[in-house]
């Protein structure tokens, strides 16, 4: 199976997952709406009769969510991803050849661009290549620690994975205040797995982004590959190469004009969250290498 064929299959699977999530949320919203209506009736009878609550004149706009409880959908998504990891891993070299990351030359840096798949559907591609002054053995150990340590306070780790030594699944939320004044929120579910080879460690991952608030009903998926390997001919140098495909999904296929700007903001927010996460991992990795080098 070609690398692009695998990407297309993952796009289809991500769309099916998105549609499933959309149906689950629609059902939950219907139930929640009935409960809210019932509670509103109770509140009116309790508080308005006492003249203790004023409704409709408040500018209160509180947005604070810390707890991220596990949901049945988490298990469904993570299990679906693990079934595709071996096939995604098998396409690593083909993907890196296609995006120009197969070489170990001195061309370094990160780059994001919009591309088309074999079905002429748009996606964003992020690539990054950098070197570190460290032997591969030391870098390999530090990178494993980096992936384990990179757990922010607001991230929740999912504990039901097979092969937990090499597979990590987390869920976290990013927010931003939009030009409209409202807060846009995106809930991200991320899972990655490590594969150890001779003189090379490969990491593959998948992400499902779920819009909330102003971004409700917007979804996106991401597939990524990372390779840590020694630089040929340079004993104390290690290279990290990354390629990620961000795939926007619109369940209605057509974006209404009034929603186009919101969709662009959502896409930009997810791409920024993804690239920032990759940059943070690389910086943490570099700090660990420096600390290890300073130790006697």
| Pair 14, 208: CB distance under 8 Å | yes
Position 48 confidence tier, pLDDT thresholds 50, 70, 90? very low
In this predicted model, which residue has the larger pLDDT, 25 or 218? 218
Is residue 13 domain-resident?
A: yes
Residue 60 lies in a domain: no
- Find the CATH number of the domain harbouring 150: 3.30.530.20
pLDDT at 205: 92
DSSP string computed for 203-264: EEEEEEEEEEETTTT-EEEEEEEEEEEEPTT-TT-EEEEEEEEEEEE-TTSS--HHHHHHHH
Specify if 57 maps to a domain.
no
Q: Is residue 58 part of a domain?
A: no
Please report whether residue 159 resides in a domain: yes
Q: Tokens 């203790």 correspond to what residue?
A: 52
274 occurs within a structural domain: yes
> 284 near 150, Cβ under 8 Å?
yes
Domain of 8? 3-51+68-294
Lowest mean pLDDT among 57-71, 95-109, 189-203, 248-262: 57-71
Burial class (CB in 10 A: 0-12, 13-18, 19+), 217: middle
**DSSP string of 252-279, one letter each residue:** TSS--HHHHHHHHHHHHHHHHHHHHHHH
| DSSP state, residue 118 | T
Under a CB-based contact definition with an 8 Å cutoff, are residues 4 and 123 in contact? no
pTM over 0.75: no
pLDDT tens-digit map of 66-125: 457 677 778 888 888 888 899 999 999 999 998 888 876 667 788 888 888 777 777 888
| pLDDT at residue 270 greater than cutoff 90 | no
Whether 28 maps to a domain, the answer reads yes
Q: Higher pLDDT residue, 39 or 132?
A: 132
Residue 62 falls inside a structural domain: no
Domains in the chain: how many in total? Answer: 1
Contact assessment for residue 117 and residue 4, using Cβ atoms and an 8 Å cutoff = yes
């Amino acid at each position: 199976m070609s690398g692009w064929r695998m990407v297309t299959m993952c796009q289809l699977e991500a769309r099916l997952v998105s549609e499933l999530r959309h149906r689950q949320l629609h059902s939950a919203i219907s139930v929640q709406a009935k409960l809210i209506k019932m509670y509103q009736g109770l509140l009116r009878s309790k508080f308005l009769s006492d003249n203790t609550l004023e409704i409709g004149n408040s500018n209160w706009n509180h947005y604070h969510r810390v707890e991220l409880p596990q949901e049945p959908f988490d298990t469904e998504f993570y299990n679906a991803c693990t079934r595709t990891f071996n096939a995604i891993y098998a396409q690593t070299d083909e993907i890196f050849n296609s995006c120009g990351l197969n070489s170990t030359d001195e061309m370094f840096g990160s780059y994001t661009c919009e591309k088309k798949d074999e079905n002429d559907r748009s996606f964003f591609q992020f690539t990054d290549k950098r070197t570190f002054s460290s032997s591969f053995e030391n870098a390999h150990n530090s990178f494993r620690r980096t992936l384990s340590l990179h757990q922010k306070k607001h991230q929740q780790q999912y504990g039901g994975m097979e092969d937990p030594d090499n597979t990590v699944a987390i869920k976290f939320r990013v927010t931003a205040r939009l030009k409209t004044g409202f807060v846009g929120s995106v809930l991200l579910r991320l899972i990655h797995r490590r594969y150890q080879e001779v003189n090379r460690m490969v990491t593959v991952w998948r992400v499902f982004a779920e819009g909330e608030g102003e971004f409700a009903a917007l979804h996106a998926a991401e597939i990524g590959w990372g390779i840590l390997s020694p630089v040929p001919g340079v004993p104390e140098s290690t290279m990290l190469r990354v390629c990620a495909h961000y795939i926007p999904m619109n369940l209605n296929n057509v974006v209404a004009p009034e929603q186009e700007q919101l969709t662009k903001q959502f896409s930009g927010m997810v791409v920024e969250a993804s690239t920032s996460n990759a940059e943070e991992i690389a910086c943490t990795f570099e700090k660990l290498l420096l600390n290890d080098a300073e130790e006697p």
